[in-house]
Structure 1
Amino acid sequence: MLGLSCYILADTFFVANALGSRGLTALNLAIPIYSFVHGCGLMIGMGGGIRFAIRKYQGERRESDVIFSHAVGLAVGFAACFLLAGLLLSGRIVALLGADRSIFDMTRIYVRMVLLFSPLFLLNNVLLAFVRNDGAPQRSMAAMVGGSLSNVVLDYVFLFPCRMGMFGAVLATGLAPVVSMLILSPHMLRRRNTFHLVRCRWSRAMTAGILSGGVPSLITEVSAGVVILVFNGILLAMQGNVGVAAYGVIANLSLVVTAIYTGIGQGIQPIISSSFGAGNREDVRKLLQYALTAMLLLSAVLYGAVWFGASPIAAAFNSEGDRLLQAFAEEGLKLYFIACPFAGFNIILAVYFAATEYAHPARIISLLRGFVLILPMAFALSAGFGMTGVWCAVPVTEALVAGVGALYWSRGDRQTLVRT
């Protein structure tokens, strides 16, 4: 996931240096669309992967193939909707995102291309999840990192030697899943996989089960886009394009941090689901403890790096040397990322509940942090404390949701461990 998040981070760095603050603002306005497409892929992949792993370790091989077939069918259906939106609605979507005339064209290029490349993003996410759950996490990781590295290289080539502008940046992002799937392909071509496409009757219950298990992953991704969208609107009203550009630095770095926590969750999910399917309750408990310990250690390292590196981090994305942008970004980095341990706890706990087929608390946690609390918190704190309130909205929200998650864990929701 850290490798996959470099899609956006590489775009941000190269766009900021090649196209300046206007390009950075356009990219930040378009990121919610990428988050939604990527989130839908994760929803299908994670939801299908959870059910596949549990049924596989219960010896239901035919059922496992049916789950994979449904997941691919869902990916095709979602991709068709995104393709139509890219062909017919990209201009309207960009207008809704708040792009003004100076950045409208760049934003539209990015949005349209992300939607047109959506079949590749969706299929890649499904295959990554199933390969990971099929006993080949190393190949899945290699595919994600390989795709990300290709994106970084192509970003540089398309933006600088080829001077392709925003089209080059999004083209590099769109080609990355092709590289990823090529790396995954030997797992299927050499017949090492235990999942196959089969002819089967479409099941509403199967579809609902896949989507239900993957909804927390969708909300985690989409909420990042929604937060960016809302914050963009608030900052446009308060400080104009400079405020949005400063937030672009923070938002894109936050996607990397979120990806690290999501990666921990995706790492434990196949092992938790298989242990749960086999009835090994103690292993399930220990895996959650290991994941939370790793999250806390990483959070300390990440926040330390942000605190001491705020100035050079902001400067790396401020190619024009704008003092106001630099000041906003430095303050925002130090306040916004106080959320690290709370966000990590929430993401991992949501994945844990979903991986044990107990999706209700996972959905509650994801909805609270993604929509229910963060949106009113952003408006209330920005109205009361200005820019400082904007930066504090996320840590306050994540801390409150972490309290709710801890309550679920301590009160009964331990029943997850005794269900088989």
Structure 2
Amino acid sequence: MNKITSKFGSEKISKLLLKQAIPASIGILVMSLNMIVDTIFVGRWISVMAIAAITVVLPIAFLISSIGMGIGIGGSSIISRALGKQNIPKAFEVFGNQISLTVALSFLFVFIGTFFCFPILQLFGANGDIVFPATEYFHVIIWGVPFLAFAMMGNPVIRAVGKPNYAMFTMIFPAISNIILDIVFIKIMDLGMFGAGLATSISYAVSGLFVLWFFLSKNTELKIVPKYFKINISILKEIVALGGITVIRQGTISLLIIILNYTLFKYGGEISIAIYGIINRVMMFALFPVLGVTQGFLPIAGYNYGANDSKRVKETIKTSILYGTGIATLVFIGIMLFPDQLVSVFTDDKELLSLTPNALIIAFLATPVITTQLIGSAYFQAAGKAFPALILTLLKQGIFLIPLVYILPKFYGVNGVWMSFPIADILSTLVTYLYLKKEIRLNLN
């Protein structure tokens, strides 16, 4: 048994969580900074409509790449539990099936995206002046998506085998590449949206190739072994049951984006979509440490659940929620104190500067409570309990946020959209807390 992964079952939980969460947080931070810088560059060097175009296109790319993410998270849950039971052959077979599934499905969806570009963009809210820059951007980044899907698949597996620093690099290297290439292609070469898309697509390739290098060259418990590429139906079903949660969640987010973009365009025009683009980037950046704690939680909880150590599983849940809530509270305070300064980083457009800070404050009002919802849904995924994991994962974006985004603007206009976010956070957190409390009482005592 590898000494690194065996520490999941013996080392102090708080120390383990920091070892896993800090690299994950740094990786998410750098990727978030990358997307923020990307938004700043296109907003300042191209146009305000370029921000709106990216806001429309990226959810499509992330929907396709979420196939890899879902396969990665679903498979890594099985791998973590297999390692906890010291079942190394099963871990290898699961990983081989993950690779085959990711490659086949990501290229299939790229083919669909390429030949149905315009109707897909329209579906996701490309209207008015947004259509041309969105189309130009989409045509380029679609070819980098298979690399992104492979990287998304490999990232949670790298964490599952106890190498969180390398998982961090899968996010840092493409982010740095994208920032450098943005400067070259947009600022120096003046390639506009084509240059922005080219920089993003190449950065996806950097990430995917790094993950490929890791599993071919590093000394880990898992390697790329072609004989395991053959699909095993029972393993495939288990991967799909758990990984499908992530794909359905991303699909729900994409549906939410469609509804958001149409609602924002209806009640506030293109400028409201640009406002949401800025809010979305701030969300990705500000919450990076909370998401890092959630990612750090998964392999520790999965390993100890596989080892039938319910005491350590409960301690992992408690410690993760405590750390995440403290961080989320600090984030909330920072946003409430400096909304204008945050918005001014992205744009010097007077209309955006006047409208976005208030929207930002409203959207972040429930930030201190979100960790319970994130850890609660992650626990059920780590434990291999697909149905409750699916329901809890869909609570915020699907069950609560989509209806709220549709209903509230009828009464409060564009502000109704921003109000939907904290209301959905509070409701989903409450339900998750009750569900998790029952699970601990019945199955972890």
Q: What's the TM-score bracket when you normalise by the shorter of the two chains? A: over 0.9
Residue 190 (structure 2) pairs with residue 140 (structure 1): no
Select which of 265, 287, 290 maps to 2:319: 290
- The runs of at least 4 consecutive aligned structure 1 residues that moved more than 6 Å come to none
Shift, 1:267, TM fit: 1.0
Please give the alpha-carbon distance, in whole angstroms, between the structure 1 residues aligned to 2:309 and 2:129: 58
Please give the alpha-carbon distance, in whole angstroms, between the structure 2 residues aligned to 1:193 and 1:25: 44
Q: Which residue of 1 aligns with 2:37?
A: 10
- Structure 2 residue identity aligned to 1:298: I
- Structure 2 residue identity aligned to 1:275: N
Q: Which residue of 2 aligns with 1:354?
A: 381
Deviation string, structure 1 residues 237-282 (Cα, Å, up to 9, x no partner):
1111111111211122223345543322211111111111122211
- The equivalences for 1:16-415 within 5 A come to 16-184=43-211, 185-186=213-214, 188-200=216-228, 201-257=230-286, 259-319=288-348, 321-323=349-351, 325-412=352-439, 414-415=441-442
Please give the alpha-carbon distance, in whole angstroms, between the structure 2 residues aligned to 1:340 and 1:35: 23
- Structure 1 residue identity aligned to 2:313: V
Distance 1:31 1:280, change over 3 A: same
Please report the RMSD computed on the Cα atoms of aligned residues, expressed in angstroms.
Answer: 2.1
Shift, 1:343, TM fit: 3.2
Contact conserved, 2:215 with 2:222, CA < 8 A, in 1?
Answer: no
Distance 1:177 1:27, change over 3 A: closer
Please give the alpha-carbon distance, in whole angstroms, between the structure 1 residues aligned to 2:333 and 2:252: 25
Which TM-score applies when normalising by structure 1?
0.92
Deviation string, structure 1 residues 273-309 (Cα, Å, up to 9, x no partner):
1111122211111111111112111111211221222
Structure 2 spans left out of the alignment, 5+ residues: 1-27
Please give the alpha-carbon distance, in whole angstroms, between the structure 2 residues aligned to 1:254 and 1:49: 26
Shift, 1:337, TM fit: 0.9
Shift, 1:25, TM fit: 1.3
Distance 1:285 1:45, change over 3 A: same
- Structure 1 residue identity aligned to 2:170: A
Contact conserved, 1:374 with 1:393, CA < 8 A, in 2?
Answer: yes
Distance 1:96 1:190, change over 3 A: closer
SS at match of 1:117: helix
- Structure 2 residue identity aligned to 1:244: I
Deviation string, structure 1 residues 112-168 (Cα, Å, up to 9, x no partner):
333221210111112222111112111111232222222222222221112111122
- Structure 2 residue identity aligned to 1:388: N
Contact conserved, 2:62 with 2:250, CA < 8 A, in 1?
Answer: yes
Structure 1 spans left out of the alignment, 5+ residues: none
Shift, 1:352, TM fit: 1.2
SS at match of 2:206: helix
Distance 1:221 1:338, change over 3 A: farther
Structure 1 range deviating more: 356-365 or 340-349: 340-349
Percent of pairs with identical residues = 23
Which TM-score applies when normalising by structure 2?
0.87
Shift, 1:384, TM fit: 1.3
Contact conserved, 2:290 with 2:328, CA < 8 A, in 1?
Answer: no
